[in-house]
Structure 1
Amino acid sequence: MRRQLLGLLFFFFLGIASFLLVFQSFLSIPSHYRVSVGEKVDFGISLPPQISDLITVYVRGSEKASLKWQSGGLPIALAPGHISLELRIFNFLPLKRVTVEVVPTVKVVAGGHSIGVLLQRQGVFVVGYAAISSSDGKKYCPAKEAGIEPGDLILEVGGTPVHSDTQVSLLIDQLAKKKEVLEFKVKHQGKVHCIFIKPRYCPQTKRYRIGLYVRDGTAGMGTLTFYDPQTKRYGALGHPVLDPDTNLNIEVEEGRIVEASVQGIQQGRRGHIGEKLGFFVNRSKISGSIEKNSKFGIFGKLEQNLRNPIFPEPLPVALSTSQIREGPAEILTVLEGEKIESFQAEIQTVFIHPKLDGKAFVLKITDPLLLERTGGIIQGMSGSPVIQDGKLVGAVTHVFINDPTRGFGVLAGLMLEEAELIPDEIGQSSSGLNNFLGDSFCNFLVVFASSRYTIGQSLP
């Protein structure tokens, strides 16, 4: 009797553990899933047949039928729209609700082009304090005393918009000779404030100052990720342009990208990040505006049409990490002059939920030639497109300092959304299930004859 009781308890707890594993798997499914027309709907989880037969996928708000979780193929999205699904176990216990958004097919030209990035800030950026040594032997910092901090953005001095560090210095000196206290319009942590400061005369520089180091524009080199021939919109870098002193995003007032020529390589090694060395091309084949500097890269419009000699035709784009797999891939980048080359890589880890900064997968450089020339991922490679199975899946963004052969990549779909190439909202379909099944129940049977979903029951 004791053995039977122990046996029953063992199988009871085994069943509980199995259920918890299934529940955890379904919790990992994103609540919002995006897919292009013609793509398979794959939640990216794999279950044994004994468990999958207990799972039913209900279509909420449809008079059609639900879809039962079974072995076999995957359903295909047929038209743009939304569909709300509820995944249940034992036909009554809800596990997960998922909104599937089907967007029109988007294809873009892959990048890989080396670009120069020229940014002009909105206002001037405060990067530090510079105390004023007065004639009385004391040191003063009026800006610090008034509450201005490194990372703040000075937008106006005495009612005049400012765009450069030189302009700020001249305005403060000129206005302080007429007024004792000056008004500064300052952006602090996203909010604009008016701050009043009394400048002090600096005997060393023979002008009035408020005790700040400020910076205006910045320049650097990176890689173009994609280009849309229809709208001429582009995306590059895959991460924001940061101020080197404060490590904060630069708020762009005006900016441009131009073609850059790579003239040398400084190899990366453990503990030291390498970089591309080069210059900006005057008569550039690439020229465009920078309209946005976001956590997923820089975005704007090109003035010329762009082509890629390796992938001349537009490529489909991975909109979710379920469309990326662990395995071989390739990256496109420039190592000499303006020549785009393709190099072998391997996607080692795919995150079901991309990080807040867009990191979606871990990439390892495996190409012997690239490893020999650069040591791995180096500065200037940011934005290099990652291609897998004929699809643009992302871009190189970061390198591991202790292992320069490995780094992170951003999801391509996030960059396209930031470039406004994917609609924020797709109109709700009058019959959501038809986005997957076609216009009739017969179409459903034809399209999904080999699907792992079969007819069940609908939810109101």
Structure 2
Amino acid sequence: MNAKIVKISFVITMLIIALAVLCGSSVAYAETVMIGGKPVGITIGAKGLVVIETTKVITDDGAKNPTEGKLLKGDILKTVNGKEVFTVSDLRKSVTEKKCTVNIERKGETLSFEFTPALEALTKEYKLGLYVKEEVSGIGTISFVKKDGTYGALGHRISDPETGLTFEYQSGYIYDAEVNGAKIGDKNAPGELKGRFNKADKIGTVDKNTPFGIYGKIESYNAKTFDTASIDEVKIGKAQIYTTIKGDEPKFYDINVLRTFKQSDVSEKGMIIQVTDKNLLSQTGGIVQGMSGSPIVQNGKIIGAVTHVFNGDYTKGYAIYIPWMLKNAA
């Protein structure tokens, strides 16, 4: 009798443990969060100056090319004559009439060059003939905000639109933003949200720039709370996207989840969605740049966020599962 009791007790205990493991894997990152959908301005400062273009310098003796074609678009200037350069002002101060030793980063490799600056006829300043930028900036959409102020946005990594490259950054911030309208896509490129933000309206930091979104802390945020869904809860069928296409107040728009992908590890393309809302289609043509990060709600839960638009069919796009974003925010 006692042996039977012990055996049954052991079986029940093992069953409870098994169920706990199975349930845990399904809802490992499920929690209650404030819904996003609001636009934010984003700036990320590179650890150096990003080369956008090289050009000739017009001198009294004609056009000269100080860098001799050795610097490439996307190179990151790290130091000039041993001094770090983070701003255009830093670069100007470091370039002298004498030869310049320039250290750059290119695809993870550090390279060193020596150039002789040219004296520009118009400004009488010595120049290397470089167009550079200090930071990457743009408009994106908040996906969620946790109780402690941790937010997730975009659903994909920020890259430089002019070079297509991603790079290490030294600082990043988000700002209050307003959407003025949208440019509808054409056969050559998807549309985009047109917005603006003021750097005086800083509301948070960018602490992570990952393949699955940007993450950081936001100073204050108020929005309705939603439970988040496990991957297994996402179903093919009707859903809604929560996004802003005018002003700074998001609205719900109808979509369909067309396909879901079984995933055991993080990926930014977990499901295929299609915009069906006539109002959204008439104003944007579907999914547009700047909409990345817009949360998706199905059956009262946040299931994911928009990440990409299809080339050739702007009504369709990809979305990331919300548990993957919560995992990266941890």
TM-score range, shorter chain: 0.7 to 0.9
Q: Does 1:248 align with 2:165?
A: yes
Q: Does 1:275 align with 2:187?
A: no
Contact 2:183 2:191 in 1 (8 A): yes
After superposition, give the CA deviation of every residue in 1:213-249 in whole Å (9 maximum; x if it has no partner).
221123211110011112x111111122221221012
Deviation at 1:76, TM superposition (A): 4.4
Contact 2:120 2:127 in 1 (8 A): no
1:455 — aligned with what? none
Q: Secondary structure at the match of 1:244?
A: coil
Task: Give 2:240's match in structure 1, choosing from 306, 330, 333.
Answer: 330
1:140 — aligned with what? 65
Contact 2:305 2:319 in 1 (8 A): yes
How many residues are paired up?
Answer: 317
Deviation at 1:396, TM superposition (A): 0.9
Name the aligned partner's letter for residue 279 of structure 1.
R
**Separation in 1, partners of 2:213, 2:76:** 21
Q: Secondary structure at the match of 2:158?
A: coil
Name the aligned partner's letter for residue 196 of structure 2.
F
Q: Does 1:397 align with 2:320?
A: no
**Separation in 1, partners of 2:38, 2:93:** 40
Deviation at 1:366, TM superposition (A): 1.0
Q: Does 1:234 align with 2:120?
A: no
Task: Give 1:184's match in structure 2, choosing from 83, 86, 102.
Answer: 102
Q: Secondary structure at the match of 2:262?
A: coil
Report 1:420-439 matches (<5 A). 421=330
**Separation in 1, partners of 2:63, 2:22:** 72
**Separation in 2, partners of 1:272, 1:188:** 28
Q: Which runs of 5+ in 2 are unaligned?
A: 1-9
Q: Secondary structure at the match of 1:149?
A: coil
**Separation in 2, partners of 1:104, 1:368:** 34
Deviation at 1:78, TM superposition (A): 5.9
Report 1:340-355 matches (<5 A). 340-353=250-263
**Separation in 2, partners of 1:270, 1:354:** 35
Name the aligned partner's letter for residue 418 of structure 1.
N
Q: Secondary structure at the match of 1:383?
A: coil
Report 1:239-388 matches (<5 A). 239-280=156-197, 287-304=203-220, 306-308=221-223, 312-318=224-230, 321-353=231-263, 358-388=268-298
Name the aligned partner's letter for residue 307 of structure 1.
N
Choose 1 or 2 for highest CA Rg: 1
**Separation in 2, partners of 1:362, 1:102:** 21
Higher strand share: 2
Name the aligned partner's letter for residue 248 of structure 2.
E
1:9 — aligned with what? none
Range that drifts further, 397-406 or 264-273: 264-273
Report 1:30-45 matches (<5 A). none
1:114 — aligned with what? 39
Name the aligned partner's letter for residue 124 of structure 1.
L
Deviation at 1:143, TM superposition (A): 6.2
Contact 1:143 1:211 in 2 (8 A): no
| Pairwise CA RMSD | 3.2
Contact 1:269 1:404 in 2 (8 A): no
**Separation in 1, partners of 2:147, 2:32:** 9
After superposition, give the CA deviation of every residue in 1:364-409 in whole Å (9 maximum; x if it has no partner).
0011221122221122211100112233221112212311111111
Q: Which runs of 5+ in 1 are unaligned?
A: 1-62, 68-74, 82-99, 422-460
Q: Does 1:160 align with 2:70?
A: no
Name the aligned partner's letter for residue 293 of structure 1.
N
1:103 — aligned with what? 28
Contact 2:33 2:227 in 1 (8 A): yes
Contact 2:226 2:302 in 1 (8 A): no
Q: TM-score, normalised by structure 2?
A: 0.83
**Separation in 2, partners of 1:215, 1:283:** 20
**Separation in 2, partners of 1:181, 1:265:** 48
Deviation at 1:128, TM superposition (A): 2.7
Q: Does 1:77 align with 2:2?
A: no
Name the aligned partner's letter for residue 139 of structure 2.
M
Q: Secondary structure at the match of 1:335?
A: coil
**Separation in 2, partners of 1:405, 1:166:** 44
**Separation in 2, partners of 1:331, 1:245:** 29
Q: TM-score, normalised by structure 1?
A: 0.61
Deviation at 1:358, TM superposition (A): 1.5
Q: Cα 1:342–1:295, aligned 2, differ >3 Å: closer, same or farther?
A: same
1:10 — aligned with what? none
Q: Does 1:151 align with 2:68?
A: no
Name the aligned partner's letter for residue 165 of structure 2.
L
Task: Give 1:218's match in structure 2, choosing from 112, 136, 146.
Answer: 136
Q: Secondary structure at the match of 2:323?
A: helix
Contact 2:226 2:300 in 1 (8 A): no
Name the aligned partner's letter for residue 253 of structure 2.
F
Name the aligned partner's letter for residue 116 of structure 1.
G
Q: Cα 1:364–1:129, aligned 2, differ >3 Å: closer, same or farther?
A: same
Q: Cα 1:113–1:201, aligned 2, differ >3 Å: closer, same or farther?
A: same
